[in-house]
Chains A and B, each alone.
Chain A
Amino acid sequence: MSDVTRGGTAGPVHVPVRGKAHGHDHPALVHHFADLDQQREASSLGMWLFIAQEIMFFGGLFLLYAVYRNLYPHAFAEASSHLDWKLGALNTVVLIGSSLTMALGVHAAALGHRKAIAWWLIATIVLGAVFLGVKVVEYGEKFEHHLVPGPHFHYEGPDARPAQIFFSLYFSMTGLHALHMIVGIPILACMAWMGWRGRFGPEYHTPVELTGLYWHFVDIIWIFLFPLLYLLGAHQPHM
């Protein structure tokens, strides 16, 4: 009999585990967690790890960028001057604004302000949509000027080949970034709906919080993309 207990358990005694005082009967608690705190911490860590892998995913593209930028500094600067930095700057401001409304939305959720959650998240969605709209305008412009890499790519000057690499990276990085926003918007809508229905409060608002983390991460990627892609050639007299 003694063997059983030596195995590391204190035997068949039901042991109260974690702080049961907190959110123990909340409808959002999933069966395998002891309480809402454990559930929240686990979800938040999971989201951060997801963001860590996203950083490495974009990291591969940043590496391609870093190497080719170092190989072809002049070509990159010149190609960059074909981008409209004003639109880029506008989008930066829009996206920073959407990060602010997102943060305020999370704030409202933590306080349990039902309508405020919904309105802030809707504001975030609108700003996100503005960003994507500007992006569509920009892409359209590149398409007209034959700056989309591929068979129709046309670029004057001796640096056409490195310029094509620049535009490939431009489209991959901004495209992947836009894709993340497109994924984010329905999630935001869902959160706004749940917030409106009063599903969040001081005790439980993890989904909004995690959506916020994701949205801010997307903002951070853009914070790097803007100077790296748009501003290389800004001090050149091209445009």
Chain B
Amino acid sequence: MSDVNTAIDAARLRRARLNYLNVSYGVKSWLLTIDHKRIALLYLASVSIMFAVGGAFAVAIRLELVTPPGDLVQSETYNKLFTMHGVVMVFFFLIPAIPAVLGNFLIPLMIGARDLAFPRINLLSWYLYILGSAFGVYSIVNGGVDTGWTFYVPYSTLYSNSNVVTTGIAAFIIRFSSILTGLNFIVTIHKMRAPGLTWFRLPLFVWAHYATSIIMVLGTPVIAVTLLSVIVERTLHLGLFDPALGGDPVLFQHLFWFYSHPAVYIMILPAMGVISELVTAMARKRIFGYGVVAMSSMGIAIVGFLVWGHHMFVSGQSTYAGMIFSALSFIVAIPSAIKVFNWTATLYKGSVSMQTPMLYAMGFIGLFTIGGLTGLFLAAMGLDVHVHDTYFVVAHFHYIMVGGTIMGYLGGLHFWWPKMTGRMYPEWWARVAAAVVFIGFNLTFFPQFVLGYLGMPRRYHAYVDEFQVLNVMSSAGASILGFGYLLPAIYLIWSMRYGPVAVANPWGAKGLEWQTPSPPPPENFPVQPVVVEEAYDYAPEKGVVVV
């Protein structure tokens, strides 16, 4: 291990090397960059800001819910708070977070390419993201929007008095950012792989992003046209969704969930890819059942398109349509379960290091397991009738999106931080933060399962007294969770300047991204790498090529 680093350090000194960070300076060199690594950092900065904005709304929500009556803010304000929390977190943070930051940075490195296939389109994606965010921030500053992130008609088209149109435009624009990112990834993975890097040698992170990109390209346009029709209907009132004019509001729900359920997989699949990387690197072991894990990503992406009706069991969908959607929803649970089992089996007889990325990976596996299993409650129609639109659903999707996606994102950020910045983060602080996040998360969201089964509906500004104890627990947990998120924000920024200088491969991990210096040179690899072995080939007795 150490001799590796020495060798690479020596090589680095020899070349007095340039990396993608110091190759040029100035605002212009960043805003006009077409280097995927710099664009990834632009995304990192922008999604972090949006995460902070969305988090601030969450804080206000949890503060309001400490007491049963709506006493902190007006109902109208509260409705805007949870709507904007949802809109900002889903559209501006969760969907772009892992693909646009980690995926952008890592996919070309992992497949031995110099850049994504379309670097200018990649930059365009970021500008679309910024333009969409600008509309989003404008909507917020202009008084916000109160429809819920789901924009259900006819409330959003006929009754809401808030900024539905500008928020719709924001989400509409940001869709194209997402579509172009997905398109770029698919082409890159197909056409830019290093010699010898066959499909079944790809890191699972790349497989996960490939599956995600399919959803981005095929699902996102549908929500774009749906939002467009809401905007048109709200402005011109043509009757597309107004029952008084012959329209059908349930049709909107079909269109909305056709994208928005697969969108959940846009959020979780990349995190699953991250976890596959973390588990193998931290256990220094091949993934258990590579082919199964890779194909389960594809299975989730495709079957995930066929389950949207489970959001509509009580909304007037036909009984038999509900039955089919329920059956498919149970089936889509299987590949997720398979992944969890395979990650667990990978640890068996491994050489497990309990550094921060591993803590996040373990947290992910635990929380995703709970999130996934509670998904079964919601796919089960007879039970979903009771828990639908209650805090049970809120708890479930936060276990997936916060417990899953954000744990994966933070784990990945720590794991690849040395590669991205050339600096190590402070290990002790990072472990503390991981523990605090885990505890705070569970305290925040586990009580919400109970609240949901008790019958507390979601999106309630005021609630009946018997729900108070659990709400107080949840709010208390939220303050711990918020503190847990502040820690990495502080020490990661600190480490960019003061952290110990990172070697090329601090984890002793496999994967092409670790074969180039930290931070990588602008062209990624000094020479074109050639792959001669399977992914995660840690075992010394197998597949070794000694030059």
Chain A interface residues toward B at CB < 8 A: 1-15, 17-18, 31-32, 38, 41-42, 45-46, 49-50, 52-54, 56-61, 63-64, 67-68, 71-72, 149-150, 161-162, 164-165, 168, 172
Contacts and interface: CB of A to CB of B under 8 A. Distances in A.
B143 interface: no
A53 B183 contact: yes
Interface in B187-231: 187-188, 190-192, 195, 217-222, 224-226, 229
B514 interface: yes
Contact of A42 (B192, B224, B236): B192
A68 B240 CA distance: 9
A4 B221 contact: no
Contacts of A2: 544, 546
A150 B255 contact: no
A46 B118 contact: yes
Interface residues on B, range: 35 or more
A56 B540 CA distance: 48
Contact of B245 (A64, A164, A172): A164
Contact of B187 (A10, A11, A46, A63): A46
Interface of B: 1, 3-4, 7-8, 112-115, 117-119, 121, 179, 183-184, 186-188, 190-192, 195, 217-222, 224-226, 229, 232, 236-240, 245-248, 251, 254-255, 505, 508, 510-512, 514-515, 526-533, 537, 540, 544-547
Given A9-B512, A53-B183, A53-B218, A64 B251 contact: yes
Nearest to B254: A63
B110 to A, nearest CB: 10
Given A38-B191, A64-B240, A164-B238, A7 B225 contact: no
25 contacts: A3-B3, A7-B512, A9-B512, A9-B515, A9-B531, A10-B545, A10-B547, A12-B526, A14-B527, A14-B528, A17-B195, A42-B118, A49-B187, A53-B221, A56-B218, A56-B220, A58-B225, A59-B225, A60-B226, A61-B225, A150-B237, A164-B238, A164-B245, A164-B246, A165-B238
- Shortest Cβ-Cβ A-B pairs, 9 listed: A60-B225, A57-B221, A32-B114, A56-B221, A9-B529, A161-B246, A168-B238, A11-B547, A32-B115
A38 B114 CA distance: 13
B125 to A, nearest CB: 13
A1 B515 contact: no
Nearest to B34: A32
Contact of A46 (B4, B119, B183): B183
A57 B528 contact: no
Centre residue among B247, B248, B533, B540 by max chain A CB count within 10 A: B247
A57 B515 contact: no
Contacts, number: 167
A165 B240 contact: yes
A168 B248 CA distance: 14
Contact of A8 (B218, B219, B511): B511
Contacts of B526: 12
A38 B531 CA distance: 19
Contact of A49 (B183, B226, B527): B183
Contacts of A53: 179, 183, 217-218, 220-221
Nearest to A1: B7
B183 A50 contact: yes
A54 B224 CA distance: 11
B246 A162 contact: yes
A59 B546 CA distance: 54
B195 A52 contact: no
Contacts of B239: 149, 161, 164-165, 168
Contact of A59 (B222, B237, B505, B530): B222
Given A49-B183, A150-B236, A172-B232, A42 B4 contact: no
Nearest to B251: A67
A150 B238 contact: yes
B246 A6 contact: no
Contacts of B226: 60
Contacts of B179: 53
Given A6-B545, A161-B246, A63 B3 contact: no
A154 to B, nearest CB: 14
A194 to B, nearest CB: 18
B224 A161 contact: no
